[in-house]
Structure 1
Amino acid sequence: MEKEKSPSFKNGGDDETPKCSNGKDPPAPDKPQNNNGTEGKGGGAEATPQIKYTMENAWEDIEHSLVELEGDADSEIPDSINDYLDLVEEKASKHELPEKSKGCPLDDDGSFLKVAHQMSKLYKHLSEIFKLDSRQGILINRIGRIHQQVMCCLEDEFRTLLEESRIVEPDVNHEPAGDGEAQDQAPRSNEVLSNFPGYSQEALATLNKIAMEMISGGYEFECYEAYIMTRRNAIEEILNKLGFEKISIDDVQKMQWDALQREIPPWINAFKACANVYFSGERKLAETVFSDDPSVAKSLFNSLTRVLFLQLLNFAEAVSVSKRSTEKLFKFLDIYEALRDNFSTIDNLFPEECANELKEQLTTTRSRIGETAICIFRDFKNLIQSDTGRTQVPGGAVHPLTRYTMNYLKYACDEYRDTLEHIFKDHEEMERADSTSQSNSQSNDDENRSPFSSHLIKIMDSLDSVLDAKSKLYKDVALSSIFMMNNGRYILQKIKASPEIRQAMGDNWYRKKSFELRNYHQSYKRETWMKLLGCLNLEGLNVNGKVVKPVLKERFKRFNAMFEEIHKTQSLWVVSDKQMQSELRVSITGVIIPAYRSFLGRFSGYLTPGRQTEKYIKFQPEDIETYIEELFDGNTASTARKRT
């Protein structure tokens, strides 16, 4: 393709003598020179060879001429400009070959960046000088086209360098190292965190130079767009590796809970990573790449991270308005803690105007999550009260509702008590509105409780009420007491095993519950064993100083029959807590054995030895002790063995 020729800057004709880059006249036609520059000998005249410029001396010639052109637009432009443009175009074209489609390494000596700077300067100067001179339109257009070509190469290289960062995935759940193996791993984790986003110093320096050149060359929009898009894609790729993917609010609303809850842990990891590592790393990166203009660095950082931050908050927002249910509470609290614990980082990361907007959005989202958590916790009390089933638990064992409730509350207190206290405190006005009708009857102890503890007491009161109603389903009053003892003991053991829940419930409540348990114990003994002791009553046995044998025989018969029935029945009853089981057996033995042994020792001699004795005295004190040890095992094979 024939190379464009620069038109003359003078109004003269085509026969004007051109100038070389050194400003001297070319050799006269009648004095031909040979290739080494000496005059030719003999023969006819030879054609003058075209001077071959290098890029460096061509630019020197152009730069010298630009100084002259600034003072006189009619000054002649050097011929070297077309040679220079040819060389630049050739150099830029190499960057556009198919194998360079992802950008090309800039020259190690920085010559391409130097050329880009020269082209920007050339285009800027000539466009300004000849902006009113249409005669130079062809030249200006060519310079502009080649300048754009050079800038496209820089943009490609800029993207490539940004895409080739050493992507790292920091451990956002890393805890401070203790001793041993964990301590050995700590430096490595800290190094990973400090290295994000993984660019070498050399790459950062090159990115900075390219950004400076593109901005000074008028291609700031392309530079900014390439930076934002590349870094946004990089962060989204990292978040995907953490398991988090963009999910719209509509999609969240349509998801079943089993699927949705699997998305929450990756979201938490992503949110923590962004707040503590990725966003701070992005700010440092922007400040390094665009170090010459802090306002640009700040603006790009805001544009990049604001969208991602709001995208993360949108997920939490969508979860907050999903259908409430008891099993969702702990996932909601996990989200709340992530939002709460990383709130302060917004102040440090974003400038005030942006931070205020994001903090307001984060506060709103956190508040909604907290309100939902409180509603779920309140619904839990209603869930307990709604359990009106009339199915008896076999043997008076611990009711499934008691197990579920206490395990639920214990986990809530052990893992989330501070968070729940914080949420209830933040929503104290709502809590007070719920308890206005009870405010006049509250004791000083109630007033001193935190809002969370007060609600915890309400849940426990609801459980007690429901259990009391279920205990009345048992026709046997003694079994009803065993049922309440089993459930009460289970509740106390769970509270005893958890300092957090015990502290929340308070010592007064614990002592009151223990007192109730002792009352049920006494009720059980009264309904069972005190009635049995009635068979050993001395009243009516002596008439006029003599033992009435028929009455004595009847007493032994009644005792035997009643004890056999108790053993047969209560061997099927269940006391799962081994300590309480032992306490009950010891208590029963302490009541029955001394009384029976005394009665037997006093009256067995009034029965005729032999068959009559065997008929009415079926149990020795040791036998009764053995049978008592078989109570409350829930064992159908354990039945009274009659003496024959």
Structure 2
Amino acid sequence: MNKRLNSEKSGSFPRFGRRRSKRELETGSFKLKGLNPKVCGKNQNPVELFWKSDLNHDQILEKVVQFIEKLASGQDKSKAPEIPNFVESFLKMVESRIATYEQSEASAKLGFNEEYTSFFEAVSCLSKIVNTLDEFPFDSATTSCFNRAGSVHHRAMLLSEYQFLALLDISKRNCNVTVDSKTPKTPKQSFFNSNQETDRCVKPEYDSGTGIVFPYFPPQSVANMNQVALAMISAGYEEECFIVYSGLRLKALDFEFSNQGYENVNMEDFQSMDWESLEGEIDNWIHIVKYCTTNLFSVERKLCNSVFPEHSLIAQKLFCDLATSLTIRLLNFPNAIVLIKQYSAEKLFKFLDIYETLRDLTSSLDSELSALDLISETSETQRRVGVAAVTIFCQLENSIKSDNGRIPVASGAVHPLTRYTMNYLKYACEYKDTLERVFQQHYETEGSTRRKVQKQESKNAVEDNDRIPKTSHFSVKLMMVMDLLDAKIEMKSKFYRDPALRYIFLMNNGRYILQKIKGSTDIDEIMGPSWSGKRTSDLRQYHKNYQRETWRKVLQCLNHEGLQTNGKVSKAILKGRFKNFNTLFDEIHKTQSIWMVSDEQLKSELRVSISAVVIPAYRSFLGRFKPHFDSGKKAEKYIKYQPEDIEGLIDKLFEGNMTSMGRRRHNN
């Protein structure tokens, strides 16, 4: 009998209504089927069209609640219950309320006040009536009540769903947002008119300005969303609720991306983009990822938790789905950028910025989500960027190896390759921790590189007993670059025909390298004290070699030996000595005053060392042998300089002053 009676139910309301397609739910382009509300006459209350009762709303609702409690608690469920008249009054009351809301504007369908709350209380009672009656056998009255309650409830859910969509759809709210693609953006103004009154927003905690910021919802709107969502979930409409929420929040997040100045770039755009434009796109991408990790994810999670506070698992799932969609979109950028081009060495630093941003994104996802697959995919993208960074860094080795120019740098100055390489390494070591991680990940399975590391560790242990023999993959690569640079500079020094200028060149480059390393704690730690000590020793040797090549012949002119003939000083030999000294010194001054020593300390050391050997020797020679000349013009012909003159001219060496060249040919 019970089975037969149950078969008499309409069957239209297993969940109080058919499910609509995802497109219908996301666009909201559906109509409330079967709703053809009567039109109110002038000055007529729409409620009067549908029902009249001696009881007011609260009295009817109270009686319905008592009826439901009676059915649920003690009534015999073996026979159909008696349906009181006030249930029909209740259904008419709710139906009339729905009709009233249907005639309202979209922004004010529900009043979001006490009346709004009472409406959802009534909807909750409707749901309980249907669920409770479903536990009893059905007679004609029960069947009629069940089907009518289900129909009204279905209409209420359609209205709720439409209202949920209207609450969430920021594009249909009055949002005045200013977009600036170059700087982090803050919406200037936005408000949501839900009851024909402006509802002021409360600023999120992270906002330090005065404008309303994402997600643009005033607290009352969020509270209203919660009421609608709770009613829909309680009535079994959770899937419709989730689809509307997810679809509209993705739309809002896409709007926020645009508001922050970030737009998708396709592969064709990447391929035709110059580096300057690509740098701008990278900066925009880094900005939006940081905005997501520092603001957007936490704000979106807070919104989910506020709309679905009674259903924490649902809130978590919805947030995870939204964050996953955003993250996959963000990962498309670095995945594309590592595939499209070969990049020169100086592009390394933008890739390291991308790598570090992905690291922060992974960390944020790890703390915000429990989506292991997404975290794994983000880590894999980070690894690909790391591989690209290693490849780009290795271009530095190639650029050193391929620099085969045979024209020596003028004046023995620091070679452009030295400047480029050392500045590059100094800047790269600002990313030292990141580079060490990148190289570790890249080479952790490479046996050949591991053997190089072990070999370098052993070498370090021999060279410096005080240093712990522990070398990272990046350290090995940096040492290899330094060795290549040393070898290349040594090779280029051989292109100078003047040996003295060759040593000036080696001193300039060696001092520049040493100063750059001492100026970078990271490089200095990697290279170690043994390396620095050896390079300092090399510089001293270059200095000695320079003095020998330049001033040996000058000092030979000032030798006291070999001037006597038959026990007397030979004036002819003495005159020749002074003449040779003048000639050699003049040539050295003309030549080496245009040589360049840019390091002031090295320049001072060279001048002091020259003066220390030349001036005392000249003063001694002049003091001893000047009396052998007759005073007057004949003496001035051979004694051209006084010691003070020599000292003043030495202080003009290595200035790189081209005006002193005259018509002299280059000595290179």
Q: Given the two structures, how large is their TM-score scaled by the length of structure 2? A: 0.75
* Alpha carbons 1:69, 1:75 under 8 Å: kept: no
Q: Tell me if 1:545 matches 2:567.
A: yes
Q: Is the 8 A contact 1:630 1:638 kept in 2?
A: no
Aligned to 2:547: 525
Give me the whole-angstrom Cα distance separating, in 1, the residues matched to 2:479 and 2:109: 67
2:480 to 458, 469, 475: 458
Structure 2 alignment gaps of length 5 or more: 1-7, 9-50, 185-202, 464-468, 663-668
Q: Would the aligned equivalents of 2:107 and 2:166 in 1 still touch at CA under 8 Å? A: no
Task: Please say if 1:330 is aligned against 2:381.
Answer: no
Choose the corresponding residue for 1:497, options 519, 522, 526.
Answer: 519
Distance 2:288 2:167 in 1: 25
- Give the C-alpha shift of residue 459 in structure 1: 1.0
CA 308–168 in structure 1, closer or farther in 2 if over 3 Å, else same: farther
CA drift of 1:444 comes to 4.0
Q: Specify the code of the residue in structure 2 equivalent to 1:633.
A: E
Residues of 2 paired with 1:311 and 1:386: CA distance?
40
2:122 is the counterpart of 1:115: yes
Which amino acid letter does the alignment assign opposite residue 387 of structure 2? E
1:147 equivalenced with 2:153 (yes/no):
yes
Give yes or no for the alignment of 1:283 onto 2:301. Answer: yes
Change beyond 3 A, Cα 1:261–1:509: same
CA–CA separation in structure 1 for the residues paired with 2:155 and 2:83 = 26
The aligned counterpart of 2:439 is 424
Change (3 A) 1:444 1:391: closer
Name the SS for the 2:105 alignment partner.
helix
Q: Identify unmatched segments of 5+ residues in structure 1.
A: 1-8, 10-48, 173-187
Q: Is the contact between residue 336 and residue 366 of structure 1 (CA under 8 Å) also seen in structure 2?
A: yes
Distance 1:190 1:98, change over 3 A: closer
Query: What is the CA–CA distance in structure 2 between the aligned matches of 1:556 and 1:507, rounded to whole Å?
Result: 47
Question: Could you tell me which residue of structure 2 aligns to residue 100 of structure 1?
Answer: 106
Alpha carbons of 1:320 and 1:473: their partners in 2 closer, same or farther (altered >3 Å)?
same
Greater shift, 448-457 or 380-389, is seen at 448-457
My pick for the range that moved more, 329-338 or 64-73, is 64-73
Q: 2:387 pairs with 357, 368, 371, which one?
A: 371
Percent identity, aligned pairs only, is 43
Structure 1 522/343 Cα, relative in aligned 2: closer, same or farther at 3 Å?
same
Please tell me whether the aligned partners of residues 593 and 654 of structure 2 are also in contact (alpha carbons under 8 angstroms): yes
Structure 2 distance, partners of 1:639, 1:51, is 115
Which residue pairs with 1:268 in the alignment?
A: 286
Give the distance between the partners of 1:466 and 1:431, measured in 2 at CA. 28
Q: Identify if the C-alpha distance between structure 1 residues 50 and 189 changes in structure 2 by more than 3 Å, giving closer, same or farther.
A: closer
Residues 558 and 201 from structure 1, CA distance in 2 versus in 1: closer, same or farther, beyond 3 angstroms? same
* Whole-angstrom distance in 2 between the partners of 1:51 and 1:343: 62
Structure 2 CA distance for aligned equivalents of residues 293 and 516 of structure 1 = 73
Q: How does 1:238-387 map to 2 (within 5 A)?
A: 238-248=256-266, 251-322=269-340, 323-351=342-370, 354=371, 356-387=372-403
**Hey, what's the Cα distance between the residues in 1 that align with 2:66 and 2:475?**
85
1:227 maps to amino acid: Y
Deviation of 1:593 (Å): 0.7
Q: Is the CA contact 2:60–2:86 (under 8 Å) kept in the aligned structure 1?
A: no
The equivalent residue for 1:229 is 247
Corresponding residue for residue 580 of structure 2 = 558
1:57 and 1:412 mapped to 2: Cα distance? 77
Change (3 A) 1:487 1:64: closer
> Counterparts of 1:511 and 1:198 in 2: how far apart (Å)?
63
Structure 2 counterpart of 1:331, which letter? K
After TM superposition, list the pairs within 5 Å mapping 1:527-606 onto structure 2: 527-606=549-628
Change (3 A) 1:398 1:103: farther
Q: Aligned letter for 2:528?
A: G
Letter in 1 for 2:432: R
Q: 1:430 to 1:329 in 2, by over 3 A?
A: farther
Cα gap change, 1:573 to 1:292, in 2 (>3 Å): same
Q: Contact (CA 8 Å) 2:80, 2:139: kept in 1 or not?
A: no
Deviations along 1:260-289, one digit per CA (max 9) or x if unpaired, are 222233333433343344334433433443
1:398 aligned onto 2:414: yes
- 1:627 to partner: Cα distance: 1.0
Distance 1:332 1:379 in 2: 14
1:104–1:385 distance in 2 versus 1, CA, 3 Å: farther
Shift of 1:335: 2.1
Which is greater in Rg?
1
The correspondence of residues 8-19 of structure 1 with structure 2, limited to 5 A, is none
CA shift, 1:344, in A, is 4.0
Does the CA-based 8 Å contact 2:206-2:295 persist in structure 1? Answer: no
Q: Deviations over 1:364-419 (max 9, x none)?
A: 12222222222222221221221112333221111222222111111121x21122
Other structure's SS at 2:444 match:
helix
Map residues 191-210 of structure 1 onto 2, 5 A cutoff: 192=207, 202-210=220-228
Q: Is the 8 A contact 2:563 2:574 kept in 1?
A: yes
1: CA distance, partners of 2:643 / 2:166: 94
Equivalent-residue separation in structure 2 for 1:598 and 1:496 (angstroms): 41
Higher relative contact order, chain-length normalized (CA < 8 Å, sep 6+): 2
* 8 Å CA contact retained: 1:249, 1:315: no
Report if the CA contact (8 A) 1:106-1:157 is conserved.
Answer: no
In the other structure, the counterpart of 1:39 is: none
Partner of 2:427: 411
Instruction: Answer whether contact 1:468 1:484 (CA < 8 A) is retained.
Output: yes
Distance in 1 separating the partners of 2:471 and 2:452: 17
The CA deviation string for residues 180-228 of structure 1, in whole angstroms up to 9 with x for no partner, is: xxxxxxxx996549x9867666544433222121112232222111211
Give the drift of 1:611: 2.7
**Structure 1 pair 557/429, CA: closer, same or farther in 2 (3 Å)?**
same
RMSD across aligned C-alpha pairs, in angstroms? 3.9
Distance across 2 between alignment mates of 1:53 and 1:189: 45
Mapped partners of 2:612, 2:138: distance in 1: 116
In the alignment, the residues of structure 2 paired with residue 382 and residue 204 of structure 1 have an alpha-carbon distance, to the nearest angstrom, of 59
Contact 1:567 1:639 in 2 (8 A): no
Residue 514 of structure 2 aligns to a residue whose secondary structure is: helix
Query: Secondary structure of the equivalent of 1:95?
Result: helix
Q: Distance in 1 between matches of 2:445 and 2:534?
A: 29
Measured in 2, the distance between the counterparts of 1:249 and 1:502 equals: 42
Greater displacement, 543-552 / 612-621: 543-552
Q: Distance in 1 between matches of 2:440 and 2:282?
A: 25
Letter in structure 1 aligned against 2:308: F
- State how far apart, in whole Å, the 2-side matches of 1:131 and 1:596 are: 130
CA distance in structure 1 between the aligned counterparts of 2:241 and 2:389, rounded to whole angstroms: 45
Q: Provide closer, same or farther for how the CA distance between residues 438 and 280 of structure 1 changes in structure 2, counting only shifts above 3 A.
A: closer
Counterpart code for 1:107: N
Whether the 8 Å CA contact 1:168–1:196 is kept in 2: the answer is: no
Specify the code of the residue in structure 2 equivalent to 1:297.
A
